Chains A and B, each alone.
Chain A
Amino acid sequence: MTDDQVVVGLEVHCQLDTKSKLFCGCSTDYRADGPNTHVCPICLGLPGAMPVLNKRAIEFAMKVAKALNCSVLHESEFSRKNYFYPDLDKAYQITQYDKPLAEGGYLEIESDEGGERKIRLTRIHVEEDPGRLVHMGNAERGRYSLVDYNRAGIPLIEIVSEPDMRSPKEARKFLNKLRATLEYLGVFDSDKEGSLRVDANISIKGSERVEVKNISSYKGVEKALTFEVTRQKNLIRRGQRVERETRHFIEGSGITQSSRSKEQEHDYRYFPEPDLRPLQVQSWVDGIVLPELPDARRQRFIDQYGCSLNHARTLTGELKLANFFEKVVAADPKGLSTLAATWIADTLIGELNYRDMGIDTVNPALMTELVTLLKQDRITDKSGVEVLRVILDQIKNKESPETPSAIIVRLSLAKTTGDDTALKAAIKEVLAEQAKAIEDYRAGKNGALNFLVGQVMKKTRGKADPAELNKLLVSMLDTMEA
């Protein structure tokens, strides 16, 4: 380690995608419904109600433990973590303390230097989510809290890493890999808002550790940690001490703030949950069959589809994306894979992100058709992008998207092949309009030819084949009368 080495550890909480809550039968599908509509005596913490453990939550957690190479304990148990907060209706959270479900394990990520690095895990355990608190009012109107217990009792898996990450970027990669793995296992839905929360621990070697709590987005983690690295390094540079403390991340401004004033020193007074019984599930491990995980799928994309490492990495980075790719090339993998990989990884993803759309809004068949047309050289790349944008805009506007073929006809995007009359006419028009550029070209000025190419492209609305256009333009320029 270097002297000012950054050291990062993460505690990641993910909601497990079960149908019912961890300790009761309330449905977990609460996001579209009104407050306090997915609540029963158990998750409301009414006096006398008792928890009963959801078997599927444990099965899911064990899949994760196996996929991450953890050791499942012979016997684990649930404990009470006691503290007072409005969103915690029993005034204790049922979690796992000294006997978690599993310990050890690791996750491999792409390190900053290239190559793979193993990030070790400390433990994995299962616990319940508290409710949701809304802060209301202000100094004038009187502040108070509003609480919705729909989220109370949702099963969470907590994955704790060793402080093995060496930069905010590695932390983001760890999170992405973890998220993808959980998606591939079918135990986690990352599209659900708030389904993943992170507490990060960060220090500069030799200085105190700072905890940043409750970061709820992947980008947020990298931002928060980047801010912290700067803040801590500045303190050290000025000869000041980094204080060991808890901070929270302010998503909007990208800064972290001290939580000192809010939090008292917590004494959680853990003890085993007397209403639940111990788990002895080590024997389940052998019987767990894991699906294909991200690393294996990445390798398969390289082997089976001839994808480059980078493309394979991008395409398998999200389960839905990987599935989309395979659907697109299914009709003709040999013929379509290379082009499809490029167009999906390098173009489609960007266009989707720009429009804040998910991959599952796009029918793979449309992509298959587009890639096929491109492969047949029926349209230029530029036209291809235009077609894609039209389709995505239509989907975003909740219209039924046209097929690529229909768009090409409607917008006359089909490449002109063989017959270059239209092209010559377009070039002639441009040459007539752009006297200055012609002068620049003759004077040997560098951008002039490209400028003229651009002007012709405009006229032909991108339909012209660039290579052909270039050749023709140069020949017409050179044979022009001065």
Chain B
Amino acid sequence: MVTEKEVEHIAGLADLGINKDELAEFTHQFNAILDYFDVLDQVQGDTAITHELTNVMREDVIEPSLPQEDVLRNAPAKEDGFIKGPRVM
């Protein structure tokens, strides 16, 4: 059982945010789904996926980068070739 407070905490971890008016219904649905997931507790065995492919690597060769305009094109805010974003502090 996950509480509304924990749901808010998870939303914070995911930098998602959750509106107060959604919280109750969201929490209820969340718990129903988590209850369903409990069936995994019964899973036996301890070997996880073994991949057939290993050591997938490429040679240390330089390939063309994107032109700066392409890097910046989809960014809503830029300055002097940098991409602009909100402050960190």
Contact residues in B for A137 (Cβ distance below 8 Å) = 87
Q: Once the chains bind, are B71 and A52 in contact (CB under 8 Å)?
A: no
Q: How many residues of B contact A (CB 8 A)?
A: 31
Q: Once the chains bind, are A135 and B88 in contact (CB under 8 Å)?
A: yes
Q: Does A276 contact B (CB under 8 A)?
A: yes
Partner-contacting stretch, out of B19-27, B37-45, B55-63: B55-63
Contact residues in B for A18 (Cβ distance below 8 Å) = 60
Contact residues in A for B68 (Cβ distance below 8 Å) = 34-37
Distance of A39 Cα from B63 Cα, bound (Å): 10
Distance of A35 Cα from B57 Cα, bound (Å): 28
Q: Does A19 contact B (CB under 8 A)?
A: yes
Could you tell me the dominant secondary structure of chain A's interface residues?
loop
Given known A36-B83, A44-B71, contact A135–B89 (CB-CB < 8 A)? yes
Given known A37-B68, A44-B71, contact A53–B82 (CB-CB < 8 A)? no
Q: Does B33 contact A (CB under 8 A)?
A: no
Contact residues in B for A146 (Cβ distance below 8 Å) = 79-80, 82-85
Contact residues in B for A85 (Cβ distance below 8 Å) = 88
| Interface members, chain A 129-152 (any B CB < 8 Å) | 133-137, 143-149
Q: Once the chains bind, are A24 and B87 in contact (CB under 8 Å)?
A: no
Contact with A along B7-48 (1 / 0, CB 8 A): 000000101000000000000000000000000000000000
Q: Does A86 contact B (CB under 8 A)?
A: yes
Distance of A147 Cα from B75 Cα, bound (Å): 11
Could you tell me the dominant secondary structure of chain B's interface residues?
loop
Partner-contacting stretch, out of A219-227, A277-285, A344-352: A277-285
Query: Which chain A residue lies CB-closest to B89?
Result: A262
Q: Does B86 contact A (CB under 8 A)?
A: yes
Contact residues in A for B86 (Cβ distance below 8 Å) = 86, 144-145
Q: Once the chains bind, are B61 and A143 in contact (CB under 8 Å)?
A: no
Q: Does A451 contact B (CB under 8 A)?
A: no
Contact partner of A279 (CB less than 8 A), chosen from B54, B63, B65, B83, is: B54
Given known A18-B60, A19-B60, A267-B13, contact A37–B65 (CB-CB < 8 A)? yes
Q: Once the chains bind, are B54 and A280 in contact (CB under 8 Å)?
A: yes
Contact with B along A60-92 (1 / 0, CB 8 A): 000000000000000100000000111000000
Q: Once the chains bind, are B66 and A39 in contact (CB under 8 Å)?
A: yes
Q: Once the chains bind, are A147 and B54 in contact (CB under 8 Å)?
A: no
Q: Once the chains bind, are A19 and B61 in contact (CB under 8 Å)?
A: yes
Q: Does A186 contact B (CB under 8 A)?
A: no
Q: Does A26 contact B (CB under 8 A)?
A: yes
Given known A36-B81, A84-B15, A147-B85, contact A27–B71 (CB-CB < 8 A)? no
Q: Once the chains bind, are B58 and A41 in contact (CB under 8 Å)?
A: no
Q: Once the chains bind, are B54 and A135 in contact (CB under 8 Å)?
A: no
Contact residues in B for A24 (Cβ distance below 8 Å) = 63
Q: Once the chains bind, are A145 and B87 in contact (CB under 8 Å)?
A: yes
Q: Once the chains bind, are B88 and A26 in contact (CB under 8 Å)?
A: no
Contact with B along A172-212 (1 / 0, CB 8 A): 00000000000000000000000000000000000000000
Given known A53-B57, A55-B58, A279-B55, contact A36–B71 (CB-CB < 8 A)? yes
Query: Which chain B residue lies CB-closest to A41?
Result: B66
Q: Does B53 contact A (CB under 8 A)?
A: yes
Q: Does A13 contact B (CB under 8 A)?
A: no
Distance of A37 Cα from B82 Cα, bound (Å): 10
What is the CB-to-nearest-CB distance from A84 to chain B, in angstroms, rounded to a whole number? 5
Q: Once the chains bind, are B82 and A276 in contact (CB under 8 Å)?
A: no
Q: Once the chains bind, are A56 and B60 in contact (CB under 8 Å)?
A: yes
Contact partner of A145 (CB less than 8 A), chosen from B61, B64, B84, is: B84
Q: Can you name 10 extra interface pairs (CB under 8 A) apart from A39-B65, A41-B66, A58-B57? A: A20-B62, A26-B62, A40-B63, A84-B15, A134-B82, A136-B79, A149-B83, A277-B51, A277-B54, A277-B55
- Which residues of B are at the interface with A, using a C-beta cutoff of 8 A? 13, 15, 51, 53-66, 68, 71-72, 79-89
- Which residues of A are at the interface with B, using a C-beta cutoff of 8 A? 18-20, 24-27, 34-41, 44, 52-58, 75, 84-86, 133-137, 143-149, 262, 267, 269, 276-281
15 cross-chain CB contacts under 8 A = A19-B61, A26-B62, A27-B65, A39-B71, A58-B57, A133-B88, A143-B87, A143-B89, A144-B85, A267-B13, A277-B55, A277-B56, A280-B54, A280-B55, A281-B55
6 smallest A-B Cβ distances: which pairs? A25-B63, A56-B60, A146-B82, A55-B57, A143-B87, A35-B81
